[in-house]
Amino acid sequence: MIPEANTLIAEFGPMVNEIAQLIYDRLVGDLGCAPYVKTIYIGFEHGGEMVAALYPRAGAVEVALALPEAAESPLLIDATHLTWRTMPVAAILTSRDEAERAVPLLEEALNRVAQGTHDVNRAPEHFIGRVKRGNSRPRSTP
Full-model pTM? 0.83
Cα four-point dihedral sign 75, 31, 19, 53? negative
What are the boundaries of each domain within the chain?
Answer: 3-127
Taking only the tens of pLDDT, the chain with its 142 residues reads: 999 999 999 999 999 999 999 999 999 999 999 999 998 999 999 999 989 999 999 999 999 999 998 888 999 988 887 767 788 899 999 999 999 999 999 999 999 999 887 675 555 565 455 544 444 444 444 3
- In this structure, the number of other CB atoms found within 10 A of the CB of residue 142 comes to 4
Element (H, E) at 16: helix 14-24
